[in-house]
Amino acid sequence: MDSSIIMKKKKQNLREIDTQEHSGEHSHDDGHNHSGPEEVSKVKTYLPAIFSFIMLIAGIAIDYFEVFPFFKGWVRIVWYVVAYIPVGFPVITEGWNSIKKGDFFTEFLLMSIATLGAFAIGEYPEGVAVMLFYAVGELFQNAAVNRAKRNIKALLDVRPNEALVYRENDFVSVDPETVEIGEKIQVRVGEKVPLDGILLSEKGSFNTAALTGESKPDTIAAGDSVFAGSINLDGVIEVETTKEFKDSSIARILDMVQNATARKSKTELFIRKFARIYTPIVVFLAIGLTFIPYFFVDDYVFRDWLYRALIFLVISCPCALVISIPLGYFGGLGAASRNGILFKGASFLDAMTKVNTVVMDKTGTVTKGVFKIKEVVNTSTFSESEFMKYLMAIEEQSTHPIAKAILEYKAEGADLEASNVSEVAGKGLKGSVNGKTVLVGNKALMTTNSIEVPSATNDIVESIVMVSIDGKFAGYVTIADELKEDAHQAIKQIRESGISNIIMLSGDKDSITQQVAKELGVDWAKGGLLPEDKLNEVEKLKKQPNTKVAFIGDGINDAPVLAASDVGIAMGGLGSDVAIETADVIIQTDQPSKIARAIKIGRSTRKIVWQNIGLAFGVKIVVMILGAGGLATMWEAVFADVGVALLAILNAVRLQKMKWG
């Protein structure tokens, strides 16, 4: 690798921050240690700058102490030219290549003109110093960009590169992309689960940190879902695949992370457009600063005004803005990913900072979406166990989530079988059990069949399943959905983040929705909504002045609202694929408390980006004025350019080290 590696790395990193990373970044991890070649590469990268630095310091020392009388004239010039070439030649080459492509006004051209001009007027040490510190700045930028890329790429390393699939009476190692749905795979201790599936073994314990950002192991039982990218912690397990690799959770995450860097924020787009206009203006101002004073200044000295113009060019280099701003957003995306929050682009980091109204679905968002029997009320002559057997016999014919909850009831004795079961649209089920006619459903079903329902049931908020046996009311079961463990914490933290308007919209019964909303302290709630009703409510909110809406949901029916809101946030663990594809932000852990964290990361990212913009413009403008007035030297110019760039980079890197709670 020759000395031009500095500039090649610079352009490569800018390109990779700007657009989606391709094959080199997406290759499978082969599990080998490549530290040797990488260390050699690092030494070669830094060697030109080290050589130039030693030559420059030695030259300045010889100049100052005058220890070698021959260090004058051509000897001195050649010394500083040799010091200049390792760091200056790559920049000049890049500037020339840009000109050949029609891109005249780049920072490479600015630095080339400024340093060659310094040589032309005899300021050799300053010419070398400017290019040396510029090269050092590029090395720091390269290191900071690589760090940000590694934080994002950490997710890519969880991509499994083999699957042990059961074929022809044995487990054979194959590429995960060749495994089909329904095949059985084996995962050993310490290995990554290669595809999404259902656990066939009795139990399993998994590290899901790469997917969810949570370090706590996840223990599941047979029949539960297992996600690709999880690491098996306890014993050899077997899994039946439910998705192809391209549709698995890890493939979906990788695709979203890789594409996130291609979606730039408005700030990034503005800065890039601004740099294209700003740089030629600076060049023409420098030319004017060199020649225009000739017509107005009595003691005009060309060399002095050229020196001021060269300082002006060095100061005006826009690299602090061009690198540190995308790096800031890149750091924000990486910080979010490590916390189990996937932003689909930098533009959504920005959008999150403007949200002032949070609208959320209920089931699956703040509740677990898993129904459980809360109470069994038996008014029949049967025992509770017999009463439940009649109910369960009918519910076995249903696929409704409530039916699943009822079937989990443990009733003693022999099971009963139902016959002639039919559905009564919107009301429930009707069938025969042990020769008795059994109705299972809502109050409307009972009323339609002239069955008297106790008035006490009118005050029940939870979902209620009523039962009649042979024309008589036999009792009922109440079903309730559980709140997620962090639901209360989520609402509290959202409020602490400055969001004053929190709304709940649900397709569940309005009474249940209101009860949950009251328990959580939500400002306003509405239940019994169809998907189009939710959409209409969000559209109404968006029409209110200065209102930016974030909607959080998880189901297929939430997809239209997720698409219509200013920021759509999907629960990515149990959420539907449609909701995840439609949303702008994915909460991989299904934890609503991560919403406030996403807002915090977005705001911190934007704050750091604007700090960098203010720092770069502020210092440059001050030193530009001083340079034009003859009050600043090349050394101040170096600080205004490279020093500010380094400060901005270090500020952006802070995002990658912050603790988010």
Is the separation of the CB atoms in 380 and 387 below 8 Å?
yes
Lowest mean pLDDT among 66-80, 155-169, 197-211: 155-169
pLDDT at 275: 67
68: tokens are 């070698």
361 counts as catalytic: yes
Q: What is the CA radius of gyration of the chain?
A: 34
pLDDT at 3: 41
Residues 269-281 have pLDDT tens digits of 666 677 678 778 8
How far apart (Å, rounded) are the C-alpha atoms in residues 140 and 146? 10
Q: Pick the residue with more confidence: 468 or 650? A: 468
Is the pLDDT score of 15 beyond 60?
no
> Would you place residue 37 in the very low, low, confident or very high pLDDT band (cuts 50, 70, 90)?
low
Name the DSSP class of 457: G
> Would you place residue 33 in the very low, low, confident or very high pLDDT band (cuts 50, 70, 90)?
very low
Q: Which amino acid is at 379?
A: T
Sheet holding 428-433: strands in order across?
367-378, 472-483, 463-469, 436-441, 428-433, 418-424
Place of tokens 């590694």: 150
pLDDT at 579: 66
Is the pLDDT score of 314 beyond 50?
yes
How far apart (Å, rounded) are the C-alpha atoms in residues 501 and 328? 29
How far apart (Å, rounded) are the C-alpha atoms in residues 564 and 540? 11
How far apart (Å, rounded) are the C-alpha atoms in residues 566 and 186? 43
Element holding 660 (H helix, E strand):
none
- CA-nearest of 67, 1, 653 to 328 is 653
- Of 65-74, 133-142, 317-326, the range with the highest mean pLDDT is 65-74
Residues 584-637 have pLDDT tens digits of 898 877 889 999 999 999 999 999 988 988 888 888 888 878 877 878 887 777
Is the pLDDT score of 567 beyond 70?
yes
Is the pLDDT score of 249 beyond 90?
no
Per-domain residue ranges of the chain: 5-155+264-334+603-656, 163-251, 341-366+484-588, 368-482
Could you list the beta-strand ranges (E) of 425-535: 428-433, 436-441, 463-469, 472-483, 501-505, 524-526
CATH class of the domain defined by 163-251:
mainly beta
Q: Pick the residue with more confidence: 145 or 467? A: 467
> Would you place residue 21 in the very low, low, confident or very high pLDDT band (cuts 50, 70, 90)?
very low
Name the DSSP class of 640: I
> Would you place residue 8 in the very low, low, confident or very high pLDDT band (cuts 50, 70, 90)?
very low
Could you list the beta-strand ranges (E) of 214-366: 218-221, 225-226, 231-232, 237-241, 341-343, 357-360
pLDDT at 174: 92
Residues 453-507 have pLDDT tens digits of 998 888 888 889 999 999 999 999 998 878 888 999 999 999 999 998 999 998 8
Is the pLDDT score of 39 beyond 70?
no
pLDDT at 507: 80
Is the pLDDT score of 12 beyond 70?
no
Region 117-132: mean pLDDT is 86
Length of the chain measured in residues: 661
Q: Which amino acid is at 243?
A: K
C-alpha dihedral (301, 307, 312, 313), degrees to nearest 10: 130
297: tokens are 């200044």
Q: Which of 196, 218, 350, 361 is catalytic?
A: 361
Is the pLDDT score of 119 beyond 80?
yes
Q: Pick the residue with more confidence: 242 or 263? A: 242
Phi first, then psi, for residue 154 (nearest 5°) are -55, -35
pLDDT at 106: 76
At CA 172, angle to CA 171 and CA 174, rounded to 5?
Answer: 135
Residues 396-437 have pLDDT tens digits of 888 776 888 898 888 777 789 999 999 887 788 999 999 999
How far apart (Å, rounded) are the C-alpha atoms in residues 574 and 554? 7
> Would you place residue 555 in the very low, low, confident or very high pLDDT band (cuts 50, 70, 90)?
low
Rounded to 10°, the helix 266-291/107-120 angle is 20
Q: What residues pair up with 467 in beta bridges, in sequence order? A: 440, 475
Is the pLDDT score of 320 beyond 80?
no
pLDDT at 26: 36
Does the domain at 368-482 match CATH 2.30.29.30? Answer given as no
Is the pLDDT score of 263 beyond 60?
no
- CA-nearest of 543, 539, 587 to 564 is 539
pLDDT at 157: 53
> Would you place residue 529 in the very low, low, confident or very high pLDDT band (cuts 50, 70, 90)?
confident
Q: Pick the residue with more confidence: 2 or 414? A: 414
Mean of the per-residue pLDDT values for the chain? 81
How far apart (Å, rounded) are the C-alpha atoms in residues 383 and 211? 47
How far apart (Å, rounded) are the C-alpha atoms in residues 15 and 21? 9
pLDDT at 5: 41
Does the domain at 341-366+484-588 match CATH 3.40.50.1000? Answer given as yes
136 phi-psi bin (left φ>0, alpha ψ -120 to 50, beta other) = alpha
- CA-nearest of 480, 465, 493 to 594 is 493
Q: Which amino acid is at 316?
A: S
Q: Which amino acid is at 610?
A: W
pLDDT at 638: 73
Instruction: Enter the pTM of the model.
Output: 0.64
Is the pLDDT score of 213 beyond 60?
no
Is the separation of the CB atoms in 87 and 134 below 8 Å?
yes
The reply to whether 163-251 and 341-366+484-588 are identical in fold is no
Is the separation of the CB atoms in 7 and 106 below 8 Å?
no
